Amino acid sequence: MAWDLKGKTVVVTGATNGIGKAAAVELGRRGARLVLVGRDRRRCADAADAVRATGVSVDTVVADLSLMSETRRAAAEVLALCPRLDVLVNNAGAIMPERRMTAEGHEATLALNHLSYFLFTKLLTERLKASAPARVVVVASDAHRSAAGFPFDDLKAEKRFVPMLRYGETKLANILFTRALAKRLAGSGVTANALHPGVVATGFGADSKGIVGLFVRLARPFLLTAEQGAETIVHLAASPEAEGVSGRYFAKSREKAPRPPALDDAAAERLWALSEELTA
For 105-118, how does the pLDDT look when each residue is reduced to its tens digit (9 = 90+)?
999 999 999 999 99
**Is 155 contained in some domain?**
yes
CATH code assigned at 209: 3.40.50.720
**Is 4 contained in some domain?**
no
Query: Could you tell me the pTM of the whole model?
Result: 0.92
Domain that holds residue 236: 9-279
Q: Is 249 one of the annotated active-site residues of the chain?
A: no
Residue 197: the pLDDT is 95
**Is 201 contained in some domain?**
yes
**Is 3 contained in some domain?**
no
Cα–Cα distance for residue pair 35/9, rounded to 1 Å:
8
Residue 157: the pLDDT is 98
Residue 224: the pLDDT is 74
Residue 212: the pLDDT is 57
**Is 20 contained in some domain?**
yes
Cα–Cα distance for residue pair 89/20, rounded to 1 Å:
8
What are the average pLDDT values for consecutive 10-residue runs of the chain, which has 280 residues?
Answer: 86 96 97 98 98 98 98 98 98 96 98 98 98 98 97 97 97 98 98 92 56 55 79 97 97 98 98 97
**Is 96 contained in some domain?**
yes
**Is 1 contained in some domain?**
no
Cα–Cα distance for residue pair 48/95, rounded to 1 Å:
25
Catalytic residue among 167, 204, 250, 272: 167
**Is 40 contained in some domain?**
yes
| Domain total of the chain | 1
